[in-house]
Structure 1
Amino acid sequence: MTFDRSIKIAPSILSADFADFGREIRAVEDQGADWVHVDVMDGHFVPNLTFGPPAVKAFRKHVNTFMDVHLMIAPVDPFIEAYAEAGADLITAHVEAGPHIHRTLQAIRATGKKAGVALNPGTPAEAVEHVLDLADLVCVMTVNPGFGGQKFIDMTGKIRKLRQMIGDRPVHIEIDGGVDPVTAPLVAAAGADVLVAGSAVFKGGSVSNAEPYGENIRAIRQAAQAAL
C-alpha cells in the first residue's frame, strides 16, 4: 500500500453487531471505509476483553481494504506472531504495555507486517521519539482505552508535536477515541490522517440498512477535510 496523508476513516468493529461481523465489515467497506480497525483487549492492560487471534482470522476473510489490529494487551510480544498469522496488515502495540517498545516494533516488523505504536492520554509524544524510524503509524488515544463510546479527550497539542517530530517520515498519525464530525476537524488540522470511529460510524444503521454508515463516514471525512 503506497503511503499518503489523505484522510482515512477506520471504523472500529467494536461498535458493530457482534452476531454479524462478516456482513458488518462488508457493509462499512461498501459504504466507504478505508481501513477496518480491530480493538484487541485483554481485561488486564485495559478493563475489557475482546478478540483473540481466531476471531481476527475469521474477520480477515471479510476484509478487502486494510486490517488495522490494535493490541491493548500486556505482555504484547508473545502474541505478535499469532495476530500476524491471523491476517493483520498492521499491528499496533502500546508504549505502556512493556519495557521494550523498540524490541516490540522490531518483532512486529519481523513478521512482515506494518508496525504501529500507541500512546495513552497520559503518555507524552516524546515517548516514541526514538522509535519513529521503526514505526509506520503512531496511534494517539483520545480516550482512556477499554470501552467504546467515551468522551473525546483533547490531545491536539500532542498530535502537533508528533507531526513535527515525524517530519517527512512515512508515518501515519492515527486518532482513536471519540472521533465524530465535531472532533475530526480538530485532529485533522493538528496533523492526523487516520481516524478511528466506532459509535459515530455505526449509529443509526444496521447490516440491512447500511446507508447511515455511509452518511456517517462521509460526514466525518468531509469535516476532517474541511479543516485541512
Structure 2
Amino acid sequence: MTFTREIKIAPSILSADFADFGREITAIESQGADWVHVDVMDGHFVPNLTFGPPAVKAFRPHVKTVMDVHLMIAPVDPYINAYADAGADILTAHLEAGPHIHRTLQAIRAAGMKAGLALNPGTPAEAAAHLMDMVDLICVMTVNPGFGGQSFIDMTGKVRQLRGMIGDRPVHIQIDGGVTPTTAPLVAAAGADVLVAGSAVFKGGSVSDPAPYGANIAAIRAAANAALA
C-alpha cells in the first residue's frame, strides 16, 4: 500500500448480497472500488451481528485491492491475530472499545497490519491526540455504528481538527456513514481521503448488472474531487 491523499472509495460489503460475496467483491473492484470495507460487528459493542474471522478469510481471495476491516467489537485484543490470519490489510479498532488503546494499536501493527483508530460521533478529536504516531488511519464515524443506511452526522469540524493534528504524517482520514455525492464534498474539503459507502454504492446494481456500482462510485469520487479543485 503506497500512501497517497488522493480520494479513495471503499464500498462497504455490508450492503452487498450476502449470498454472493465473492462475485460482489469482484464486481465493485471491477467498477472502480479502491478498497473493500468489511464491517465486523459483535452484537455487544454495537447492536448488530455480522462477520467473524472465517467469513473475512473467505472474502480474502476475492479482494485484489485493499481489505479494510473495521472492528465494531469489544474486546478487540483477543481477536487481532485471527484477523491477521484472515488476511486483513488494515484493522481498525474503536477508541471506545477498551481501556488500553495503545496496546491494541501496537498489537495490530505487530501482527503485520496497518492500524486504524475509529472515533464515534460523540468522541472528540482530542481523544486521538496522543495516538497520532501509532496509527495509519483514523476513521471518523458520521453515524452511530451498528447499521447501514443511516443519515449523515456532520463531523466536518472534527475532520479538520484531525487533519491539523496529523500534519505531514502518512495517516489516512476515513469517513464511515452516510457518504453520498452530497456529503462527500463536505468531508473531502475538510481533509478526508477514504470514503466508505454502502447503500450509496450498491443501490440500483447487482452482480449481473454491476454498471450502476461503477456509476455510483464515480459520482461519489467526482463530487469529492470537485471540492478539492
| TM-score band w.r.t. shorter chain | over 0.9
Q: Say yes or no: does 1:222 pair with 2:222.
A: yes
Displacement of 1:214 in angstroms is 0.0
Residue 187 of structure 2 aligns with which residue?
Answer: 187
Percent identical residues = 83
Counterpart code for 2:110: A
Q: Say yes or no: does 1:64 pair with 2:64.
A: yes
Q: Distance in 2 between matches of 1:38 and 1:127?
A: 25
Q: Distance in 2 between matches of 1:77 and 1:111?
A: 11
Question: Under a length normalisation based on structure 1, what TM-score does the superposition of the two structures give?
Answer: 1.00
Residue 21 of structure 2 aligns with which residue?
Answer: 21
Please, what is the CA RMSD of the aligned residues? 0.3
2:106 is paired with a residue whose SS is helix
Residue 37 of structure 1 aligns with which residue?
Answer: 37
Q: Distance in 1 between matches of 2:128 and 2:164?
A: 13
Q: Deviations over 1:67-126 (max 9, x none)?
A: 000000000110011011000000000000000111100000000110000000000001
Q: Say yes or no: does 1:136 pair with 2:140.
A: no
Q: Distance in 2 between matches of 1:70 and 1:157?
A: 23
Q: Distance in 1 between matches of 2:75 and 2:197?
A: 26
Displacement of 1:32 in angstroms is 0.1
Could you tell me which runs of 5 or more consecutive residues in structure 2 were left unpaired when the two chains were aligned. none
Q: Distance in 1 between matches of 2:6 and 2:91?
A: 20
Runs of 4+ in 1 over 2 A off after TM superposition: none
Counterpart code for 1:55: A
Q: Say yes or no: does 1:103 pair with 2:99.
A: no
Q: Say yes or no: does 1:171 pair with 2:171.
A: yes
Q: Distance in 1 between matches of 2:51 and 2:112?
A: 22
Q: Say yes or no: does 1:206 pair with 2:201.
A: no
2:112 is paired with a residue whose SS is coil
Q: Distance in 2 between matches of 1:87 and 1:47?
A: 26
1:61 is paired with a residue whose SS is helix
Counterpart code for 2:16: A
Question: Under a length normalisation based on structure 2, what TM-score does the superposition of the two structures give?
Answer: 0.99
Where in structure 2 are the equivalents of 1:156-167 lying within 5 Å?
156-167=156-167
Give the aligned length.
228
Counterpart code for 1:123: T
Residue 11 of structure 1 aligns with which residue?
Answer: 11
Q: Distance in 1 between matches of 2:61 and 2:18?
A: 16
Residue 154 of structure 1 aligns with which residue?
Answer: 154
Q: Deviations over 1:157-196 (max 9, x none)?
A: 0000000000000000000000000000000000000000
Counterpart code for 1:64: K
1:189 is paired with a residue whose SS is helix
2:62 is paired with a residue whose SS is coil
Residue 113 of structure 2 aligns with which residue?
Answer: 113
Could you tell me which runs of 5 or more consecutive residues in structure 1 were left unpaired when the two chains were aligned. none
Displacement of 1:2 in angstroms is 1.1
1:37 is paired with a residue whose SS is strand
Residue 86 of structure 1 aligns with which residue?
Answer: 86
1:19 is paired with a residue whose SS is coil
2:93 is paired with a residue whose SS is strand
Q: Distance in 2 between matches of 1:21 and 1:132?
A: 34
Q: Deviations over 1:45-71 (max 9, x none)?
A: 000000000000000010000000000
Counterpart code for 1:141: M
Q: Distance in 1 between matches of 2:86 and 2:112?
A: 13
